[in-house]
Chains A and B, each alone.
Chain A
Amino acid sequence: MGLIQEIDYATKAPAGTAMVTLTIDGERVTVKDGTSLLRAAMEAGIKVPKLCATDMLDSFGSCRMCLVEIEGRAGTPASCTTPAAEGLVVHTHSPRLARLRRGVMELYISDHPLDCLTCSANGDCELQDTAGEVGLREVRYGYAGANHLAAPVDGSNPYFQFDPAKCIVCSRCVRACEEVQGTFALTIGGRGFESHVSPGIDESFLASECVSCGACVQACPTATLIEKSVVEHGQPEHSAVTTCAYCGVGCSFKAEMRGETLVRMVPYKDGKANRGHSCVKGRFATGYANHPDRIVKPMLRARITDPWREVSWAEAIAHVSSEFRRIQAQHGTGAIGGITSSRCTNEETYLVQKLVRAGFGNNNVDTCARVCHSPTGYGLKTTFGTSAGTQDFDSVEHADVVMIIGANPTDAHPVFASRLKKRLREGARLIVVDPRRIDLVRSPHVAAAHHLPLRPGTNVAVLTAIAHVIVTEGLVDDAFVRERCDLATFAEWAAFVADPSRSPEATEQATGIAAAALRAAARLYATGGNAAIYYGLGVTEHSQGSTAVMAIANLAMATGNLGRPGGGVNPLRGQNNVQGSCDMGSFPHEYSGYRHVADAPTRHAFEAAWGVALDPEPGLRIPNMLDAALDGSFRGLYIQGEDIVQSDPDTHHVTAGLAAMECVVVQDLFLNETANWAHVFLPGSTFLEKDGTFTNAERRIGRVRRVMAPKAGYADWEITQLIARAMGMAMDYRHPAEIMDEIAALTPSFAGVSFARLDALGSVQWPCNDAAPEGTPVMHVRGFARGRGNFVVTEYVPTDEKVGPRFPLLLTTGRILSQYNVGAQTRRTANTVWHEEDHLEIHPHDAEQRGIREGGWVRVMSRAGETSLRAHITDRVAPGVVYTTFHHPETQANVVTTEYSDWATNCPEYKVTAVEVSPSNGSTAWQAEYDAFTRRSRRIAAV
């Protein structure tokens, strides 16, 4: 196993199919029309020296190393900016070219430290390689002239350093920041000899707008921008391609190793979700894997007030088995259940639901999608027939109009956001429907055509009003509807939305959106060309979450924006494998592939495969489990890789439910908040420590590859298997590949998936079966999964969570770029430098009325609870709306959120909580008690 070296073709591959043939160094070469000579040569295996070119970036033509001669043409043009043309005869090496290149290289080296042996890029330096390629043997200018060698190193960023002494001012970092990331944080300051890379306006990297995505580091051909981990450990010596364990974009990375030490994560160019890009989390925030907080031994305790006692795996597993069986014997088969993890692999998730259904003998299994995208599952299955987004991420490159609803991609799905921003810079139009002025509304070279800052809780009214405009202004794609959709439901829906009561004017007061603005946005969506909708938890986490998803599906069907690249309905899934956990049958009412447990043929297939009779009744969802715990009928819970105390709503209700249980088993990397209420702790494994697959938001199944041994001895799937065996199940998989084989055998949409196929293709998007052996990038191309598209009437029902004199503000929650979900991973990395605590965003008007100052402590009170945190005064939120994140347990934002939930799925209404905010002196009494309780709960008895 060596280091995976990707070929740098120096310039991008052009689109199109026309080909041209030319001759390079005597070889006839056929390439796509528009290919640069530099790339054409590289495709033919001829490496031309180059420094400023790399195939992630547009050609630049500044370094003068890739000069060539072309017969019949004068001069020595840069091959990176000269397109190949039919019949050209090109020479890449000649005495003249060699002389020119050496001369240029002498100039570079005359202002470069000659410290190659001690340089951290030694062995991975393009400048060093190029000097060798051009045969540099001397520097006639000497080294005593004016130079930049004394320029200080900027080590402000926690993950990489900037050493301007080593910079050759090739601009690759600046262009990467612009073209790939789209942040425009870097520039070249000064002119001539004074030219230098400048973060912001000559600020440090940390102080600048830099979002630490790593694109500049990746692009740098020298040691100027380099990972501190490489400086510390040296160059990696082997690598494996794996899938990131943060967010639903599912970026492919090379995990580059030295022994069992992870040196760095480098985005994989062939990764079809990320196309070689990354964000600060996936690129750098892996420090949690070796954090001293990792628990690596199983632990037990009789009561949650006791200290933990480290035990052997055998004792822990035996205890879990005996306790679960005891509870079932005393309180019934349905008295226990499990929660699968959207951070674990498909194979691990599948095993947990199998353990529950076949081992526990009930369907009490649920997953974190309950609190995020369960409405997507319900809504898209009802309208289209399958519970997933319709497009691949590449589709955005074909979009002419993009509508973002209730999502904040630059923070929560940053790599997709970079791809989106690139398309917007190319001219696509943007509509943002969000109560907050998210970054995409206006950021460098991106400006939304329309921002509809709706009042939280009114999504359905806004979406239905958009539909009203489309129907009443004759903007429906009649041909698409006639050919592809159920005409009866369309007629019912069209009549419903056309009613004047659903017009933008009629709903303006409720939504807060000016009718003219809404009409303009609706017209743009319906008439602007390929129109894509991307949405997030701002759509689903409402009492009408499922209705809003169906309203989105209605819009896409009515305008014919389905079944082809550039359009579609695209839920931006939150966690790395939340799509997969749903696909794998984590919901209590359905098996893998979204088939209801009451469906007899499906159930019989699972019964035959698993050799056990299965319950045909749906099981308990997470909030129902907690309710049942309080009434005494649910007493044991196996939680793999979720932290429901921090992530689920109404913390008091969650903890009361857990406290009522007799055996709570938490399997995680750390003693998370839920573990405070656990009786058994089973130490889990990181994505670096196991094999498997994740499925991202575009249904792409990507491999997770083990690069180090599990610190606690077992991968998570092995732990589930140990429990299953202890409870009497015959479960003896030797490798996750065997689990995937079972999934494929029992799940039609996965029938063609195997580790062998994934290894061959890199990744596949389900459905992957005989009809689509290489997967399905765009769904519903010839027809909907359910046959004809189903329009659904979406009556707006205002939430019961209403503002009033006691609670006059609306709280909505979200996440931030540098932190991930409950923060269990990212809080244990240097990412805390950007976000060490949660803040409350409040509008200046609301702050002034309450005497709140910037950075001051404020108390946030709802009818569910109260917490304190620091205020950030900003007009990013509208008057009457406040916003916070939920990354830090010290804040516990969910102590404030309520039990209101989506009518169809019980997905919590995180996005609307009526609150009051007032100045405070610091933490609340509850926070202080909780902190003390947590400290007590995490005690581990001395052995």
Chain B
Amino acid sequence: MDAERLTYMANQIGKFFAHKPEAEAVAGIEEHIRQFWEPRMRAAILAADGAGLDPLPRAAVERLRLTARAPRT
């Protein structure tokens, strides 16, 4: 999966949650990614270097990393 595109998508999600308090926003972004991104998409963004991620999505991705499952291929 194209990490650049996934990064863009994560940043888009981040903008929707940006008005919320930081912890809530990060949880919201992570939850959205968990609910709607197929595991290999999640794996791809976890594998990327995080360059280009805005702070909130970056934190959400880190939070996702803590609970990540192995992707199915």
Q: Are A and B subunits of one complex?
A: yes
Q: Which residues in A have some Cβ–Cβ distance to B below 8 Å?
A: 331-335, 362-364, 496, 543, 547, 588-589, 596, 598, 615, 617-621, 624, 627-628, 630-631, 633, 793, 795, 797, 899, 903-906
B15 and A903 form a contact (CB under 8 A): yes
Show 26 residue pairs from A and B whose CB-CB distance is below 8 angstroms, ordered by the A residue: A332-B73, A334-B38, A334-B39, A334-B40, A334-B72, A363-B38, A496-B19, A589-B36, A598-B35, A615-B72, A618-B36, A620-B40, A621-B38, A627-B1, A627-B2, A631-B1, A633-B1, A633-B73, A795-B16, A797-B15, A797-B16, A903-B15, A903-B16, A904-B16, A904-B32, A905-B36
Please indicate the chain B residues that have their CB under 8 angstroms from the CB of A333 in the complex.
72
**8 A Cβ contacts from B12-29 to A:** 12-13, 15-16, 18-20
Rounded to whole angstroms, the CA-CA distance of A866 and B72 in the bound complex is 38
A793 and B19 form a contact (CB under 8 A): yes
With beta carbons under 8 angstroms apart, the residue of B2, B13, B40, B72 that contacts A903 is B13
With beta carbons under 8 angstroms apart, the residue of A543, A596, A617 that contacts B38 is A617
Please indicate the chain B residues that have their CB under 8 angstroms from the CB of A615 in the complex.
72
Residue of B nearest to A362 (CB): B72
Please indicate the chain B residues that have their CB under 8 angstroms from the CB of A906 in the complex.
9
Rounded to whole angstroms, the CA-CA distance of A588 and B38 in the bound complex is 9
Please indicate the chain A residues that have their CB under 8 angstroms from the CB of B15 in the complex.
795, 797, 903
Min C-beta distance of A541 to chain B, whole Å:
15
Please indicate the chain B residues that have their CB under 8 angstroms from the CB of A620 in the complex.
38, 40-41
Min C-beta distance of B72 to chain A, whole Å:
5
Q: Could you say which of A331, A628, A906 has the most chain B C-beta atoms within 10 Å of its C-beta?
A: A628
Please indicate the chain A residues that have their CB under 8 angstroms from the CB of B73 in the complex.
331-332, 334-335, 633
Rounded to whole angstroms, the CA-CA distance of A617 and B68 in the bound complex is 12
With beta carbons under 8 angstroms apart, the residue of B5, B12, B18, B39 that contacts A543 is B12
Q: A596-B35, A624-B1, A633-B73 are in contact. List 16 more A-B contacts (CB 8 A).
A: A589-B35, A598-B35, A617-B69, A618-B37, A621-B38, A624-B38, A627-B5, A630-B2, A631-B2, A633-B1, A633-B40, A793-B20, A795-B16, A903-B16, A904-B16, A904-B36
A619 and B40 form a contact (CB under 8 A): no
Residue of A nearest to B6 (CB): A627
Please indicate the chain B residues that have their CB under 8 angstroms from the CB of A904 in the complex.
13, 16, 32, 36
B13 and A628 form a contact (CB under 8 A): no
Please indicate the chain B residues that have their CB under 8 angstroms from the CB of A633 in the complex.
1, 40, 73
Rounded to whole angstroms, the CA-CA distance of A224 and B6 in the bound complex is 62
Would A628 and B36 be within 8 Å (CB), given that A332-B73, A793-B19, A797-B15 are in contact?
Answer: no
Min C-beta distance of B39 to chain A, whole Å:
5
Residue of A nearest to B19 (CB): A793
B72 and A332 form a contact (CB under 8 A): yes
B38 and A364 form a contact (CB under 8 A): yes
Min C-beta distance of A273 to chain B, whole Å:
32
Min C-beta distance of A363 to chain B, whole Å:
8
Please indicate the chain A residues that have their CB under 8 angstroms from the CB of B20 in the complex.
793
Rounded to whole angstroms, the CA-CA distance of A633 and B2 in the bound complex is 12
A903 and B12 form a contact (CB under 8 A): yes
A619 and B13 form a contact (CB under 8 A): no
Rounded to whole angstroms, the CA-CA distance of A563 and B1 in the bound complex is 44
Please indicate the chain B residues that have their CB under 8 angstroms from the CB of A589 in the complex.
35-36
Q: Could you say which of B9, B35, B38, B40 has the most chain A C-beta atoms within 10 Å of its C-beta?
A: B38
Please indicate the chain A residues that have their CB under 8 angstroms from the CB of B19 in the complex.
496, 793, 795
Rounded to whole angstroms, the CA-CA distance of A797 and B17 in the bound complex is 12
B38 and A618 form a contact (CB under 8 A): yes
Rounded to whole angstroms, the CA-CA distance of A620 and B43 in the bound complex is 13
Please indicate the chain A residues that have their CB under 8 angstroms from the CB of B9 in the complex.
903, 906
Please indicate the chain B residues that have their CB under 8 angstroms from the CB of A362 in the complex.
72
Residue of A nearest to B2 (CB): A627
Mark each residue of chain B from 42 to 68: 1 if its CB lies under 8 Å from any CB of chain A, else 0: 000000000000000000000000000
Min C-beta distance of B38 to chain A, whole Å:
5
Residue of A nearest to B32 (CB): A904
Please indicate the chain B residues that have their CB under 8 angstroms from the CB of A621 in the complex.
36, 38
Min C-beta distance of B62 to chain A, whole Å:
20
Please indicate the chain A residues that have their CB under 8 angstroms from the CB of B1 in the complex.
624, 627-628, 631, 633
Rounded to whole angstroms, the CA-CA distance of A333 and B35 in the bound complex is 20
Please indicate the chain A residues that have their CB under 8 angstroms from the CB of B35 in the complex.
589, 596, 598, 618
Min C-beta distance of B59 to chain A, whole Å:
17
The 5 closest A-B pairs by CB, nearest first: A903-B12, A332-B73, A620-B38, A797-B15, A334-B72
Please indicate the chain A residues that have their CB under 8 angstroms from the CB of B16 in the complex.
547, 795, 797, 903-904
Residue of A nearest to B33 (CB): A618
Rounded to whole angstroms, the CA-CA distance of A332 and B70 in the bound complex is 13
Please indicate the chain A residues that have their CB under 8 angstroms from the CB of B18 in the complex.
795
Please indicate the chain B residues that have their CB under 8 angstroms from the CB of A496 in the complex.
19
Residue of B nearest to A793 (CB): B19
Min C-beta distance of A634 to chain B, whole Å:
9
Please indicate the chain A residues that have their CB under 8 angstroms from the CB of B36 in the complex.
589, 618, 621, 904-905
Min C-beta distance of A59 to chain B, whole Å:
55
Rounded to whole angstroms, the CA-CA distance of A628 and B6 in the bound complex is 12
Would A617 and B13 be within 8 Å (CB), given that A496-B19, A589-B35 are in contact?
Answer: no
Min C-beta distance of B26 to chain A, whole Å:
16
Q: Could you say which of A334, A364, A905 has the most chain B C-beta atoms within 10 Å of its C-beta?
A: A334
Residue of B nearest to A588 (CB): B38
Residue of A nearest to B15 (CB): A797
Please indicate the chain B residues that have their CB under 8 angstroms from the CB of A795 in the complex.
15-16, 18-19
Please indicate the chain A residues that have their CB under 8 angstroms from the CB of B13 in the complex.
903-904
A619 and B38 form a contact (CB under 8 A): yes
Please indicate the chain B residues that have their CB under 8 angstroms from the CB of A331 in the complex.
73
Min C-beta distance of B40 to chain A, whole Å:
6
Rounded to whole angstroms, the CA-CA distance of A114 and B53 in the bound complex is 82
Rounded to whole angstroms, the CA-CA distance of A588 and B2 in the bound complex is 20
Min C-beta distance of A820 to chain B, whole Å:
30
Would A628 and B32 be within 8 Å (CB), given that A331-B73, A795-B15, A795-B19 are in contact?
Answer: no
A617 and B39 form a contact (CB under 8 A): yes
Rounded to whole angstroms, the CA-CA distance of A753 and B72 in the bound complex is 36
Min C-beta distance of B46 to chain A, whole Å:
14
Rounded to whole angstroms, the CA-CA distance of A441 and B10 in the bound complex is 39
Rounded to whole angstroms, the CA-CA distance of A332 and B43 in the bound complex is 15
Min C-beta distance of A613 to chain B, whole Å:
13
Please indicate the chain A residues that have their CB under 8 angstroms from the CB of B5 in the complex.
627, 899
Q: Could you say which of B13, B16, B39, B73 has the most chain A C-beta atoms within 10 Å of its C-beta?
A: B16
Rounded to whole angstroms, the CA-CA distance of A34 and B12 in the bound complex is 58
Rounded to whole angstroms, the CA-CA distance of A159 and B12 in the bound complex is 49
Min C-beta distance of B23 to chain A, whole Å:
16
Please indicate the chain B residues that have their CB under 8 angstroms from the CB of A543 in the complex.
12
Rounded to whole angstroms, the CA-CA distance of A502 and B2 in the bound complex is 36
Q: Could you say which of B15, B19, B72 has the most chain A C-beta atoms within 10 Å of its C-beta?
A: B72
Rounded to whole angstroms, the CA-CA distance of A628 and B32 in the bound complex is 20
